[in-house]
Amino acid sequence: MTDPNAIQPSELDQLPDRDPEETAEWQASLDAVTQAAGPHRAAYLMRRTLERAEGAGIALPKLLETDYVNSIPTAAEPAVPGDEAMEQRITAWNRWNAAAMVTRGSKYGVGGHIATFASAAWLYETGFNHFFKGKEADGSGDQLYIQGHASPGIYARAFLDGRLNEEQLDNFRRESGGNGLPSYPHPRRLPWLWEFPTVSMGLGPLSAIYQARFNRYLTNRGIKDTSASHVWAFLGDGEMDEPESTAALALAAREELDNLTFVINCNLQRLDGPVRANFKIVQELEAQFRGAGWNVIKTLWGTAWDELFQLDTTGALVRRLRQVPDAQIQTYQTRDAAYIRQDFFGADPTLAEMAKLLSDDKILECFHLSRGGHEARKVYAAYRAAVEHKGAPTVILAQTVKGHTLGEGFASKNANHQMKKLTVDEFKNMRDLLGLPIKDSDFVDGVVPYGHPGADSPEVRYLQERRAALGGPAPARRVHPVAPLPAPAEKAFASFDKGSGSQNVATTMAFVRLVKDLVRDKESGKRWVPIVPDEARTFGMESLFPSLGIYSPKGQTYEPVDRDQLMYYKEARNGQILNEGITEAGSMADFIAASTSYATHGETMIPFYIFYSMFGWQRTADQMWQLGDQLGRGFLVGATAGRTTLTGEGLQHADGHSPVIAATNPAALTYDPAFAYEVAAIVKDGLRRMYGEAAPGEDQDVFYYLTVYNEPLPQPAKPSVDGIDEGIVKGLYRFNTAESAGITPPSPKLSASLEQGGTPIAPRIQLIGSGTAIHWALKAQQLLAEEWDVAADVWSATSWSELRRDALEADEALLRGEERVPFVRQALQGAEGPVLAVSDYMRQVPDQIAQWVEQDWSSLGADGFGLSDTREAARRHFGVDAESIVVAALAQLAKRGEVKATAVKEAREKYGL
């Protein structure tokens, strides 16, 4: 009985009820249905009413979950164009060759995955036959993010199409011979086929969203019309556990990216077992995507289920399907009809009666075989609905069986992800199931044969005709023949050569000023893509807001609060800046899409992504590897770099290691410039190498990582030193000598040795610094001369990792019998005394080159955790300030007997160390 004193729902609504009597009638109707037909009927009517309201555009909260049935009823499915029987045969060949490829490779122990493509075959084949546009189609064709573990199926199709041969299939996962196939989608290893590396799970869906967004960016900026391109991301239901998989769902819905479709293969299994053993992953994903604003299409059951749903006049079957957890659905896949009758149908008297009308064969057909993702008609209906939907991205939740058609030993078994081969008998059973014309005698010495109907067979002709109609082969990567970008005007770079005079300028500001000049270039200015994660004002970039605009597909629908100011916040549909909010992962996904536009769209873009260096490589290094894998080009800029330069922020912001992480990436050229003219020289060379006329043998498919600092200091003029530009680019040059700096020791009284003639000589040491540390080295140079009678030369190491890379290449050349001297050794040749290196990073950064330096080597660095304090206090704490450098230099010279041993102690006491 209802409590008359209880607060009624209508009382909780702030909106006044204009017609309480009508409201009461609706509520009474719901009560009557509940009493007469039960709560399930009432829930059914409510869902249908909400769906009708949503379809009519009435503003109501969306229904987050629907019944565990197909979104598109059988009666509404369009006919599949083309020859379904022919497509069945093509798919059968591809299933066979995918399994054969992995099985044949298993004798080498190289692994491979069979079950994933077996479950997803129709999800791919339907797309290849009817939807996926190739590179010759309008715009740039479609962009396909293939699920990594399904790669054998893609190779099998390329084999049928004549793009791969048997030798290449036999070299699956064996690439060192030069004619192999990479295990997963990998543009760097197979650049004519793969566009997007996807096997680092979670990065595929994130990148696909930002790729679809970047397509719109190109269109809205007038760079290229990409309106005909569609982005398809094929994902696993287990992959959706990765936080990156769902990190940008709201962005895709907010910007109405109806050029994007996720296809999630819901085979209910991840690598070790069920995805949601005690729950339902499809329902969970539906609620998640609907809540984010996506269009959701569920393709769960095959046509064999139609009879069961027609018999379900009470809704008992639908209710039971919602109740059964995923792990039990998997169990049904492996059990007999008697078990299913008892456990599934026997749970409800109405279902038990229904089961009496079904044969054992019918039950097994439904529960073992019939899934929506295994039927071309169901998949086609979902895909067509997806591409026709406007105003929101679409996700298709396609239910399949992992290991489908591979036999009882594979289907739905928890271990099938690790199962790498089929036996000969299992292959023969698979052959019979697929109806392939492969004879027993084709299995020579127990080796499974590849199957091919012939280059001029009806199957191959059909496949190629379908692809020709859709714009050519897919997937495919093309680097379009585009002319190198003309170099920007020299004055943009040369203006930094004269220094800043008495003005203090941080290298972060120098970089931003350089970009401001470069985006004004008439030829290449529009190609720049500035990317920043909601820290533009920190980096001094707010002046770019009104001139370049911040990209927004909606434009600016409001009057900005700072409209009357010179540097107001300006958003525009053709805005150039991508200000992503607080998401380094999203910013990196932007960068990847922009940096590979030269291949994806045939449009060269120059992205630069500026970020707190601590929150770049440490947080999103996996995406930096993805960037290298995808052959991306551009500038990553780690601002507020170093362990001691960001005053007061503390260890969570104190970057002492990003160059170490960056050095592990073969595609990253890592620079730690000290001065504004170095920044300009590095950017100039990067533009030449990546976008202009690269030198013979230079790899253009690289990206630059520059660390810049927020410490305002005087910027010196570029020294007139022979080979300085080469030194800046290669990583090392001598900035000055004690003599050129005018600070030679007045009287070397601390010298512990004499020349043969008895005249005292000044000990000498080579100080190498990078980034902001060179300023400490310069101060130490002065202290050493004035207070300790030691001459020091100061070197700028613009790139420790490039010096190391060059030295490693020299070592490799020696193994080939070629004489080659590492550049670092050439540069330091003849330099007197020991070498002391210092940086604002851990000692491991400069120590990268130690083994190739002929002089005695020592280093200083900021090892350990950072801390909050002033710059001076932090540097004293880590022992990298000028006074600490002096003590370390004296210790090196004392060890060599070139200064008195007591000098070290005196210096420590003098400086309070």
Residues 704, 705, 709, CA angle at the centre, nearest 5°? 135
Look at the alpha carbons of 542, 548, 552, 556 in this order and tell me if their dihedral is positive or negative. Answer: positive
- 3-state SS assignment for residue 822: coil
SS (H, E, C) 597-630: HHHHCCCCCEEEEEEEHHHCHHHHHHHHHHHHHC
Closest-CA residue to 839 (of 586, 657, 577, 614): 657
Closest-CA residue to 778 (of 707, 677, 882, 871): 882
Residue 540: predicted pLDDT: 87
- 3-state SS assignment for residue 148: helix
Query: Rounded to whole angstroms, how far apart are CA atoms 262 and 62?
Result: 20
The DSSP line for 520-567 is: T-TTTGGGEEEEESS-TTTTT-TTHHHHH-EE-TT---S--TTTTSTT
Q: Which residues contact 383 (CB under 8 A, 6 or more apart)?
A: 126, 127, 130, 131, 261, 396
Q: Which residues contact 208 (CB under 8 A, 6 or more apart)?
A: 143, 145, 196, 231, 232, 233, 260, 262
Residue 61: predicted pLDDT: 73
Helix (H) or strand (E) holding 505: strand 504-505
Residue 410: predicted pLDDT: 67
Tell me the sheet residues that pair with 705: 636, 670
240 contacts 285 by C-beta, under 8 angstroms = yes
770 to 838, 839, 843: CA distances (angstroms)? 7, 5, 12
Query: Rounded to whole angstroms, how far apart are CA atoms 357 and 341?
Result: 11
Residue 228: predicted pLDDT: 96
Residue 278: CA count within 13 A, CB half-sphere:
0
Residues 811, 814, 815, CA angle at the centre, nearest 5°? 95
Closest-CA residue to 549 (of 573, 531, 525, 532): 573
Q: Which residues of the chain have pLDDT under 50?
A: 1-2, 4-12, 753-757
Residue 416: predicted pLDDT: 54
The DSSP line for 270-309 is: -SSSBSSTTS-HHHHHHHHHHHHT-EEEEE-B-GGGHHHH
Q: Which residues contact 563 (CB under 8 A, 6 or more apart)?
A: none
173 contacts 472 by C-beta, under 8 angstroms = no
189 contacts 276 by C-beta, under 8 angstroms = no
Please report the beta strands in 729-832, taking only residues with DSSP state E, as ranges in sequence order: 733-736, 764-769, 791-796
Residues in the chain: 913
Residue 2: predicted pLDDT: 45
What is the pairing mode between strands 231-236 and 260-266? parallel
